Amino acid sequence: MPDPMTLYLAAPRGFCAGVDRAIRIVEMALEKWGAPVYVRHEIVHNRFVVDGLRAKGAIFVEELSECPPDRPVVFSAHGVPKAVPAEAEAREMLFVDATCPLVSKVHREAEKHHASGLQMVMIGHAGHPEVIGTMGQIPDGGVILVETVADVAHIAPRDPERLAFITQTTLSVDDTAEVVEALRARFPAIVGPRREDICDATTNRQEAVTAMAPQVDALLVIGAPNSSNSKRLVEVGARAGCSYSQLIQRATDIDWRALQGARAVGITAGASAPEVLVEEVVAAFRARYAVEIREVETAREKVTFQVPRVLREQVA
Ligand code: SF4
């Protein structure tokens, strides 16, 4: 008789509306224009998703210069600097922007602050494509990047009285609140959103992990090592008391020895990880344990985002 195991499944988990839209955009572009369709950067940070689209005829590249001018190109959900669509236009390329509308909202905020003469502090992770895209909405020098509370003490804005802050959408809610507090303490005149720009999908997934953490011996987060929101879920789990909080890409990554003795394991998935990978992980547990499933639901998501009109009109 196999040992008992209770699996707590976070809800919500996995695909968010922005990821779902970005994948649909590539699929509809392939349907409409045929293969190949070029995609600048991984459309979302998940190898399983990327491999699936590649099999259908998508070609993933890092730079626009790698795309021929006569094939369509899709920009990833993370957003791109303004220079990228400008270059595509200059080369008369057909392009579709799959930037998540919630990232685009931050782009518009950045433009608004810049137009008002404010310098910006962006809270985010250096090198992440979303940060590069958001900082690239305005000319160089308009945004100072901070990653941690400690960074706040070292920045030297042009005018401390003329500052605004914006954030990456997929940060840890708690860590970001601390950075915002440090910014407000050092620069009382700083303007910004009421809390931050972290999207609801990110917040909801973190809340579900926080709620399940006290009930589990270990937490597994299904997601990619370059997925910001997935890595934050691992940190949120550890912060909420999970002594074993681990990122895995597939069921084959599960370290069964580390789970020895565990009787309750929490499972969640980052916003770019498909549900089929959750099912795969659950099946791997069923192969070893007598599994009981409990769902920990802290929110229901009903949001969906439309694809750009160029695709709605022609793939009916
Ligand atoms: S995590 Fe949030 S910002 Fe990122 S794609 Fe999903 S909904 Fe959009």
Average model confidence (pLDDT) across the chain: 96
Copy the structure tokens of residue 85.
């669509």
The end-to-end CA distance of the chain, in Å, is 53
Q: Name residue 83's amino acid.
A: A
Residue 109 has which token pair?
A: 């905020």
Point out the ligand 1 atom lying closest to the alpha carbon of residue 100: 8
Residue 248 and residue 272: Cα distance in Å, rounded? Answer: 13
Residue 119: what are its φ and ψ, rounded to 5°? -85, 150
C-alpha torsion sign, points 282, 173, 117, 135: negative
- pTM over 0.85? The answer is yes
Nearest CA to 42 out of 75, 11, 15 is that of 75
Give the model confidence (pLDDT) of 98-132 as tens digits. Answer: 999 999 999 999 999 999 999 999 999 999 999 99
DSSP secondary structure letters along 216-249:
-SEEEEE--TT-HHHHHHHHHHHHTT-S-EEEES
Q: Could you say which of 27, 42, 109, 130 is catalytic? A: 130
Write the CB contacts of 51 (distance below 8 Å, at least 6 apart in sequence).
none
Residue among 15, 16, 105 to mutate when testing ligand 1 (max atoms within 8 A of CB): 16
Quote the ligand 1 centre to 236 CA distance (angstroms): 18
Is 301 designated active site?
Answer: no
What confidence tens digit (pLDDT) does each residue in 144-185 have? 999 999 999 999 999 999 999 999 999 999 999 999 999 999
Q: What is the pLDDT of residue 314?
A: 56
Ligand 1 site residues, Cβ closer than 6 angstroms: 16-19, 77, 100, 102-103, 169-170, 199, 201-202, 229, 271
Distances (CA, A) of 66 to 37, 46, 71, 95, 261: 12, 21, 11, 14, 50
204 CA to centre of ligand 1 in angstroms: 11
Cα of 16 to ligand 1 centre, how many Å?
Answer: 6
Structure tokens given for 166: 């914006």
Packed helices 200-212 and 173-186: angle between N→C axes, nearest 10 degrees? 120
* Euclidean distance between CA atoms 181 and 163, whole angstroms: 14
- What atom in ligand 1 is closest to the CA of residue 17? 7
pLDDT digits (tens, 9 = 90+) for 8-62: 999 999 999 999 999 999 999 999 999 999 999 999 999 999 999 999 999 999 9
What pairs with residue 97 in β-bridges? 75
